[in-house]
Chains A and B, each alone.
Chain A
Amino acid sequence: MSGPALRLALEIDGDGAHPAAWRRAAHSPDQLLSPRRLARVAAAAENAGFTLLTLDDGALPPGAGPDVVGRIGAVERAAFIAASTSVVGIAPVVPPTYAEPFHVSSQLASLDHISAGRAGWVVSEETRPEAASVWGRPLVDGDAARARESRDGVEVVRDLWDSWEDDAVIRSVATSRYLDRDRLHYVDFTGDTYTVKGPAIVPRPPQGQLVVFGSPDRVPGDQLDVALVEGRDLAAVTASASAAGTPRTFAEVEIALDTADATAEERVADLEEHGSWSDRGRLRHIGSAAGLAALLGELRGVVDGVRLHPLVLDEDLPELSRLVLPHLFERRHAVRPLPGASLRTHLGLDRPANRYAAAAAQEDAR
């Protein structure tokens, strides 16, 4: 199949997608949370040519029971990475299930400023009932309630990003006015369970709006820039992608590659002794780099990009860097991001007009 070149995203939370990935990592477990390790992974992924890095998160430790694995908040990690990289996009996972949307909006807008327009947001859900305790809130119970919190959360966060017009800081020495208050807007958001007044405390993000990623099953398509689509095979992914109704689609692909030391099958089998790589209904490639390149080639025309979830970052990322990405770039099956461009530009998305500025301009024209 042919189609436009893919954009490549890489999920870099923890040591990899497998819950026991830390056992095959190239560092000792107590180095997982070190800033040097985080910077090293980000640099390797940026150098390899990924367009986007995503960072999974949740208020509770990943993994359950006695085998906890630590995890620094995704926004904090994303900000750290943003300051230590220059081209790659960075999107933390932030679940709006319990979080304060005003804080989420400020944090993500700040990330876009810090990264000079390279930030995105992966909208997820906090599904574990214990998470309610972290927030001191009543349990958000059931799919419908969680979808409601995601929908309202994304809407008010987006409203807040627009609550400053791009040129709200006027620094008018003659009148002594630093701001033009006519270019600042109350959002007066009223959701099903809460209200938010606004405006934001952070000026509008450089991209206007960060690139919002999420599942179209959970967040209305018109609130998403990029749908993350799942499916165990190409047909299922194709169906999900064509039903998404979003400007862009990315396929979720879990991978384990053959290495010089072990085949992909052996690597998976080794980790399965310690726990299970749970099936989330996603495409999964366990095998050679060439096989992965072929699969990704087939996904051109079906989706605009892929998000790769490697079994073990320290083992799979070098193979991706050495064999898979160069192959895709050579054949123009995928493209590298350009220095100086925003994440929106990398994804071929326009910089959105400000919803309040547009309304104000219409008002003026009348």
Chain B
Amino acid sequence: MTRTDPLDVPRPDARLHFGVFFQGVNHWTVWSDPASGSQIDPANFRRVAQTAERGLFDAFFLGEGLRLREVDGQIHDLDVAGRPDAITQLAALAAVTDRIGLVSTSNTTFNEAPDLARRLSGLDLLSEGRAGWNVVTTDNAWTGANFRRGGYLDHADRYRRAEEFLTVARAIWDSWEDAAVSDSADAPSWAAPGAVRQVRHQGPQFDVDLAPTLPRSAQGHPVIFQAGDSGEGRDFAARNADVIFSAHGNDFDDALAFADDLRRRLRAVGRPEDDLRILPGTEIIIGATEEEALEKKRWIRLQQVTPATALGIAGLLWGIDLSGRDADGPLPKEDPVAAENDGSFGARRIADPRQVVAEWREKADANRWSLRETVIALGPQRGHVGTPEGLADKFAHFVRHGAVDGFNVTPYLIPDGLDDIVDHLVPALQERGVYRTDYTGTTLREHLDLREPLTHRTTTDRRRAG
């Protein structure tokens, strides 16, 4: 056995938490493979969720996008697209799963707090305390074109609205006293008199005066997730979130630096530094040997980054339509053009495309890479590749040193892409004592070993926790 002496590490008892992210819109799901199933068939959502539950995962996640992506005013046709409304799909999964958390990515810019809070409460009650909410914002009028409110919130305002949104949502979730509902048909009323508080809130974004419809769930209220790497995003997470997604899960030093930074921010807002779970998004590629795993990775990357996708990605960087060029040839000779951002997919903010292109050219020349090879090599380096034993050792090291609390895994194949993780990696992690061998709680909050919701903490809790 490869167990390291757990007493030599900062967190000898740490356990790894896994979530699975059913990706929706993306080019990382290998849809060209014959084993790739429908991205909308409910059977595939069920299959992934049930496999994750078999693997004792904490949570099943769905993303959100409120407008189909476009490049240069045309719908982007290379990526997987078309997915269900998250909360609706998760409410269905609540009926066919028992333990796994169900996390919805839901937007605070184009939703109203009382409505979304109620939907999430409903999911939380239907799943008996397994709901989570990944709080996201939008800052473009392009998405707003699908909504009554239309409009545009700039970067600062969208976080202000998000924070006020959370305040209202929490007030709604906390408006019913515990055990507010009678347990007897002879009671004077269905809910105890006075047990339901009217929620009154007046602020720049929300003016609310209502009687909420729902009691608290078994976990108090939904677990709050947040992703966002800017200083502002990290501060928002430190003030509000129970879990943060990050892109800092590949390199140990980078992950540890991110985690330390967050712990500093947590202390600064008066929260205990272990109050937030850090789950970087990742892809896990497993082989029986290192060589097999690397070979699999090469194959997967080529499926993910087809010649057309490589030209599309490079086109975004250059700001030029490169379709029709030879992706297996050299990089385009042209200088990049800075594209104006209208929020659509085709015009993302790249601070200095000239500098990035210069780096690409240098590395492509040095390694004699084609355009496609360059896109693959220099694109986001996501994920971990190896044998179950090797990965288990690596992950044990990550979690025991406090670099991560776990990973949010994106399977590259739907619906079976999680199987080898559950069948091979999970047992290896269990052997090393860094993964649960059974669910010990029933709620998502319990799976993640989180304290009470932030608004439920008494002064004593705070003192004890601090």
Is residue B226 within 8 Å, beta carbon to beta carbon, of the partner chain?
A: no
- Known interface pairs A30-B182, A101-B148; A72-B121 also in contact (CB < 8 Å): yes
B83 touches A59 (CB 8 A): no
Determine the distance from Cα of A136 to Cα of B210 in the docked complex, in whole angstroms.
Answer: 11
Pick from A70, A106, A194: contact of B215, CB under 8 Å: A70
A203 touches B40 (CB 8 A): yes
- Number of contacting residues on A, CB 8 A? 76
Determine the distance from Cα of A101 to Cα of B211 in the docked complex, in whole angstroms.
Answer: 24
Determine the distance from Cα of A102 to Cα of B81 in the docked complex, in whole angstroms.
Answer: 17
B31 touches A180 (CB 8 A): no
A30 touches B183 (CB 8 A): yes
Is residue A281 within 8 Å, beta carbon to beta carbon, of the partner chain?
A: no
Interface residues on chain B, size class: 35 or more
Determine the distance from Cα of A5 to Cα of B414 in the docked complex, in whole angstroms.
Answer: 43
B193 touches A66 (CB 8 A): yes
Q: Nearest chain-A residue to B191 (Cβ)?
A: A68
Is residue B74 within 8 Å, beta carbon to beta carbon, of the partner chain?
A: yes
Q: Nearest chain-B residue to A85 (Cβ)?
A: B95
Q: Which of B91-113 contact A (CB under 8 A)?
A: 91-96, 110-113
Q: Which of A270-329 contact B (CB under 8 A)?
A: none
What residues of B have a CB within 8 angstroms of the CB of A111 in the complex? 88
Q: Which of B193-243 contact A (CB under 8 A)?
A: 193-194, 196, 205-215
Is residue A262 within 8 Å, beta carbon to beta carbon, of the partner chain?
A: no
Determine the distance from Cα of A109 to Cα of B88 in the docked complex, in whole angstroms.
Answer: 10
A76 touches B184 (CB 8 A): no
Pick from B110, B148, B211: contact of A60, CB under 8 Å: B211
A179 touches B92 (CB 8 A): no
Is residue A201 within 8 Å, beta carbon to beta carbon, of the partner chain?
A: yes
Task: List the count of A-B residue pairs having beta carbons below 8 Å apart.
Answer: 233
What residues of A have a CB within 8 angstroms of the CB of B439 in the complex? none
A176 touches B308 (CB 8 A): yes
Q: Nearest chain-B residue to A30 (Cβ)?
A: B181
Q: Nearest chain-A residue to B80 (Cβ)?
A: A178
Determine the distance from Cα of A151 to Cα of B395 in the docked complex, in whole angstroms.
Answer: 55
What distance in Å separates the Cβ of A333 from its nearest Cβ neighbour in chain B?
Answer: 33
Is residue B82 within 8 Å, beta carbon to beta carbon, of the partner chain?
A: yes
What distance in Å separates the Cβ of A245 from its nearest Cβ neighbour in chain B?
Answer: 29
Q: Which of A22-61 contact B (CB under 8 A)?
A: 22-25, 28-30, 32-35, 38-39, 59-61
What residues of B have a CB within 8 angstroms of the CB of A168 in the complex? 82
Pick from A25, A75, A133, A202: contact of B82, CB under 8 Å: A202
Question: What is the interface of chain B mostly: helix, strand, loop, or mixed?
Answer: loop
Determine the distance from Cα of A203 to Cα of B41 in the docked complex, in whole angstroms.
Answer: 11
Pick from B77, B128, B206, B214: contact of A71, CB under 8 Å: B214
B182 touches A29 (CB 8 A): yes
What residues of B have a CB within 8 angstroms of the CB of A248 in the complex? none
Determine the distance from Cα of A191 to Cα of B434 in the docked complex, in whole angstroms.
Answer: 57
A175 touches B308 (CB 8 A): yes
What residues of A have a CB within 8 angstroms of the CB of B119 in the complex? 73, 75-76
Determine the distance from Cα of A116 to Cα of B274 in the docked complex, in whole angstroms.
Answer: 44
Is residue B146 within 8 Å, beta carbon to beta carbon, of the partner chain?
A: yes
Is residue B87 within 8 Å, beta carbon to beta carbon, of the partner chain?
A: yes
Determine the distance from Cα of A164 to Cα of B39 in the docked complex, in whole angstroms.
Answer: 15
- Known interface pairs A77-B126, A176-B306, A177-B77; A100-B110 also in contact (CB < 8 Å): yes
- Known interface pairs A67-B189, A164-B82, A171-B32; A135-B112 also in contact (CB < 8 Å): yes
B93 touches A83 (CB 8 A): yes
Pick from A29, A30, A33: contact of B214, CB under 8 Å: A33
B31 touches A134 (CB 8 A): no
What distance in Å separates the Cβ of A272 from its nearest Cβ neighbour in chain B?
Answer: 16
Is residue B378 within 8 Å, beta carbon to beta carbon, of the partner chain?
A: no
- Known interface pairs A30-B182, A72-B122, A180-B77; A134-B91 also in contact (CB < 8 Å): no
* New A-B contacts (8) at CB < 8 Å, excluding given A30-B183, A171-B31: A59-B213, A69-B190, A73-B119, A76-B87, A82-B92, A102-B66, A109-B85, A181-B77
A selection of 22 A-B contacts at a CB cut-off of 8 Å is A22-B190, A33-B215, A72-B126, A79-B92, A81-B95, A83-B93, A100-B111, A102-B146, A103-B85, A107-B85, A130-B211, A133-B210, A135-B112, A135-B115, A136-B112, A177-B78, A177-B308, A178-B78, A179-B75, A181-B77, A194-B150, A196-B145
List A residues at the B interface (Cβ < 8 Å): 22-25, 28-30, 32-35, 38-39, 59-61, 63, 66-73, 75-77, 79-84, 99-103, 106-107, 109-111, 113-114, 116, 130, 133-137, 164, 168-169, 171, 173, 175-181, 184, 193-199, 201-203
